[in-house]
Chain A
Amino acid sequence: MTRPDHSTYREWLNLDADGALPAESRARLDEHLAACPECRAERAELFALSNLLQRSSVPVRPDFRQQVMSSLPSAGWESRSPRTWAFPAAVFALLAGVAAFTMGGRGAHSSLLSALTAVAGMFRASAVAGAGLISASWKGLGMAFAATLSSPMSLGAFGVFVLCVNLVLVSLLRRRRSGAAEAGRERSRR
């Protein structure tokens, strides 16, 4: 086994101070430390530094947890359901069951096949309807855009409209920022 050089021992000392020294290096480091006063001093300093930094941690206010918990808003994800695949899976199974029931009278194998075909047909119909809706929306948007560009008057009106919307947004943003700053100052006073 080759003997590690001094820089390796220095690296191990740092890892040791972080509690991250692999077990297989521990014995070799201990052996080296027994014979190297310089590394022993380095080790003592590293542990003293870690201790010093740890002691300088800031105590947390006793009511911090309560403040956090009481200020939790209702997050968007709380109202979104279903949150898992259980609900969609149940709906799918129900639809498949209904389809199988309505196609009853045939053999079990063909019933299941028919049910799956029916559900697949239903999804296909939904996809076609969705695609049609998107296509119609794009066409409508295109027509509106063409109408806007058709005359200088309508183009000017559109420009004024965009400007007004921007002004409203900027004023809302400013109000929100000043509200947040006020809240921050209030917290500092508290």
Chain B
Amino acid sequence: MTQGAEPPTDEELVEAVLEGDRERFGVLVDRYQGRLVSYLFRLLRNVDDAHDLAQDVLVKVYQVLDRFDAQFKFSTWLFRVAQNAAIDQIRRRRLKLVSLRQDDDEGEGRDWDLPSPERGPYGEMRNRERGDAIQEAIDALPWEYRELILLRHFGELPYEEIAHLKQMPLGTVKNKLFRGRQMLKEKLQDFLED
């Protein structure tokens, strides 16, 4: 285990947990909870569901921690489990990933409150608009771009890990991310100057 100022790597933490130091799993939870919840939120579009599923994913990962292959990245494994779990949940609940408005019509509530320095009625309205616009722009992306954009910008995975997770050539990952970003930029043009 690394000592001193160097924080332990994910793989070292996993090894420590497997050797009986259960509390070290908490360090991994701290490390990934923000990214995991944000990533799942963008897929499920509900804060409570995102938290619940993130918890389920972490518990599931803990249960099979001994199957983790240390030659791969822990984050790749974690987000693969998370993505599969989210897809299962979306299928089960028949969430439609086409439009937030449509969801509102059907009674599927949006449920988030974006952190922002903007205060007051106008600021809150602007935040709300921005949150809606981001979600709509993400939902409008074809799945092959959306999943990569979410893994990169909310899961914060590097290109190499995304390529490994999706079993795609690195060049394809880069290309799809660039194209996905172009689409997002076009949709979110009004908010890029805020």
Q: 1/0 contact trace for B40-65 toward A, CB 8 Å? A: 01000001111110110011001111
**Residues of B with C-beta under 8 A to A72:** 22, 25, 59, 62
State how many angstroms separate the Cβ of A103 from the closest Cβ of chain B: 37
Q: Contacts A58-B47, A65-B29, A187-B52 hold; do A49 and B181 have CB atoms under 8 A apart?
A: yes
How many residues in B have their beta carbons less than 8 Å from beta carbons of A? Answer: 52
In angstroms, Cα B33 to Cα A51, docked, is 20
The reply on A73 being an interface residue by CB < 8 A is yes
- CA A49 – CA B181 in complex, angstroms? 8
A68–B153 contact, CB under 8 A? no
Nearest B-chain residue to A17, judged by Cβ: B181
- Give the docked Cα–Cα distance between A2 and B29 (Å): 48
Tell me which of B2-10, B77-85, B139-147, B186-194 binds A.
B186-194
- B37 engages A58 (CB within 8 Å): yes
Contacting A20 at CB < 8 Å: which of B59, B114, B153, B158?
Answer: B158
Known contacts A18-B159, A48-B193: A68-B55 contact under CB 8 Å: yes
Asked whether A56 lies within 8 Å of B114 as measured between CB atoms, the reply is: yes
By beta carbon, the residue of chain B nearest A78 is B20
* B29 with A68: CB separation less than 8 A: yes
Q: Are B63 and A73 in contact (CB under 8 A)?
A: yes
User: Which residues of A have CB within 8 Å of B177?
Assistant: 14, 18
Binding site for B on A (CB under 8 A): 10-11, 14-15, 17-18, 20, 45-46, 48-50, 52-61, 64-65, 67-69, 71-73, 75-78, 80, 83, 184, 187-188
Given A48-B193, A56-B130, A83-B66: 7 more A-B contacts, CB < 8 Å:
A57-B34, A57-B115, A64-B33, A64-B37, A65-B26, A68-B29, A69-B23
Instruction: Identify the 7 closest CB pairs spanning chains A and B, nearest first.
Output: A77-B66, A48-B192, A57-B38, A53-B153, A58-B41, A75-B63, A14-B178
